[in-house]
Chains A and B, each alone.
Chain A
Amino acid sequence: MVTKDEIKYWIESNLIGSSAEVSGDDGAHFHASVVYDGFNGISMLKQHRMVYNALGDKMQSMIHALSLTTKVKDD
């Protein structure tokens, strides 16, 4: 079963310099709020796609639902 800490690790180790706050304790439905300066100047769609790509095949098999909030800076 996937844990929120694993998702945090996968995001932060792929989007270097990002910080991810992940919630969700049922092993299937998660929310991640990701702050990453690499999102600067990029559309929301592409920002979310970067996070999904950072999770790669885990999105297909292990994570049932992951809703996202993406920001360039933590305001």
Chain B
Amino acid sequence: MTEINKKIEEQLASDRIILYMKGEPNMPMCGFSAKVVDILQQYDVTFKSYNILVDDQLRQGLKIFSQWPTFPQLYIDGELIGGCDIIVELHDREELESILGQSS
């Protein structure tokens, strides 16, 4: 396993809900990342975020690891849920709460 994949796996194991985003939750650097942070904050959940703008190796490694070319990327229990479009759709369909709430 490559170095970067190992790092990603460790990060994903460090918390149930992980958001890879551009910027920080209180200072998002992209509209799509801001949108997902805003949605997550409407739920009673804590999440850990990683700013891919400060770690290009992580940024490139994640695209390969997740087979997903854009950011943000939301993971729950180590599984990619999706980017902004999917999180917005799940939220609008009121399906996100159960996904966030399910403990593994």
Q: Give A44 to B84 CA distance when docked, in angstroms.
A: 12
Closest B residue, CB atoms, query A44:
B86
The answer to whether B69 touches A48 (Cβ under 8 A) is no
Question: Do B86 and A49 have beta carbons less than 8 Å apart?
Answer: no
List, in ascending order, chain B residues with CB within 8 A of A2's CB.
Answer: none
Contact with A along B78-89 (1 / 0, CB 8 A): 001111111001
Closest to A53 in B: B67
CB <8 Å contact, A49 and B32: no
B89 touches A49 (CB 8 A): no
Tell me which of A45, A59, A69 contacts B70 (CB under 8 A).
A59
Q: Which residues in A have their C-beta under 8 angstroms from that of B70?
A: 52, 59, 65-66
Task: Determine how close the nearest CB of chain A comes to the CB of B27; give it in whole angstroms.
Answer: 19
* Alpha-carbon gap, A67 to B86, bound state (A): 9
Q: Is the CB of A45 within 8 A of B80?
A: yes
Mark out the residues of chain A between 19 and 75 whose CB falls within 8 Å of any chain B CB in the assembled complex: 44-45, 48-49, 52-53, 59-60, 65-69
Whole-angstrom distance from the CB of B82 to the nearest CB of chain A? 5
Give complex CA distance A7, B83 in Å. 19
List the 4 shortest-distance A-B pairs measured between CB atoms, nearest first: A59-B69, A45-B82, A67-B85, A52-B69
A-B CB contact pairs (8 Å), 26 listed: A44-B82, A44-B86, A44-B89, A45-B80, A45-B81, A45-B82, A45-B86, A48-B82, A48-B83, A48-B85, A48-B86, A49-B67, A49-B68, A52-B68, A52-B69, A52-B70, A53-B67, A59-B69, A59-B70, A60-B69, A65-B70, A66-B70, A67-B32, A67-B85, A68-B85, A69-B85
